[in-house]
Amino acid sequence: MVGMLSWPAITKAASDSSLVKQGVSAYEANDYERAADFFEQALEKSDDKAAVQYNMGNAFYKQEEYGKAIDRFQQALLTDDDGLRHNVHYNIGNALYKRGLQLEEKELDKAIEHLEKSLAQYKSAMDLGDEKDEEIIHNHAFVTKELERLRQKKKEQEQQQQDQQQNQQEQQQNQQQDQKDQSQQSSQQENQQQQQDQQNQQNSEDQQSQQDQSSDQQDNQEQNSQNQNQQSSQSPAQNQPERNESFQDSGNSSHHQNQNDTEPNDNEAREDESEPEEENSEESPESEQDDNKDEEKEDLESAQQGQKQSAGKQQSSAQSVTYDPNAMTEFEAQILLDEYNQNAPRKLLNTYRPGEEHGTVIKDW
């Protein structure tokens, strides 16, 4: 892509011509560093400094020191020779392109800037020389495509940077959202745990309260049961003398009543004395049997009356226990039976003997 080097005319000075020729010989032998040294020495003594600067720029170009080459080429533009300036613009365009490629990976913006300047140098070369110069036209088209490539690359890099920035922003937002969600979740878990602890504590307190109530109820039931047992054990013992007394009174009254019923008055006795003895003897068993039945009936009524009186007293003396007067416990029934056996009259005897033959009773009424 780099155009052929255009060598300026040899200077008039012999010394200058000798150093320049040595530099050209070293350049053609690909000894570009030694050639640059000869051109540097010739520059100090040469009157045509623009031509020497141009040759030094070409030597640095071959060493790929494009920055130094551009500096030398720009100094060579100070000449009034249009042919030399034409070649200088052409080689500056080449050097700017090469320098741009070196900066592509590290400084893409500067690389694009160098390629844009390269196209401008090609345009200046075409203005000074032949517009149909194939090498310049070819280099101009090639650098144009490379410039488009670098610009596209820049867009892609910018897009990548935007995508990266957007991704970073999204990541940051996601991280912030995750942190926020974690914070909310942690807060919710703490609230749930706190509510659960409160619920457990409330359940524990309710359970303890129920246990306390149950224990109090059980204690009250046990106390009531003890009170009932004490009242039940005290009531029969307190009422037993009254029952005995009642049965004794009822027994005595019955006994006195039976005696009054069985004892005849004086008039009846006197009248009976006139009766025959056989009649008295005949009627005595039947009369005695009837009297015994009456006395048994009266004793039973007296015992029932005493039982009712004893039950009434027992009910009035109990504070927290209510007894049904029509109901009787087995213990009370046993007490009543014992009292009855103790207070029942012992004189009641059935004197009637079945099958016993009696004499003929003569009734005279």
Please state the pTM of the whole predicted model. Answer: 0.48
Mean pLDDT for 240-261 is 44
Query: Who wins on pLDDT, 29 or 321?
Result: 29
Which residue from 44, 146, 55, 60 is spatially nearest to 104, judged by alpha carbons? 146
Q: What are the chain's domains?
A: 14-160 (1.25.40.10), 232-343 (no CATH)
314-346 pLDDT, tens digit per residue, is: 555 444 445 566 667 888 888 888 887 777 655
Mean pLDDT for 239-251 is 45
Average pLDDT in the chain: 75
276-312 pLDDT, tens digit per residue, is: 444 444 445 555 556 666 777 777 777 777 666 655 5
Query: Who wins on pLDDT, 330 or 275?
Result: 330
So what's the pLDDT on residue 179? 87
So what's the pLDDT on residue 322? 53
Other C-beta atoms lying within 10 Å of the C-beta of residue 43: 21
Does pLDDT of 219 surpass 60? yes
Range name among 12-26, 153-167, 272-286 with the lowest pLDDT average: 272-286
What share of the chain in percent tops pLDDT 90? 32
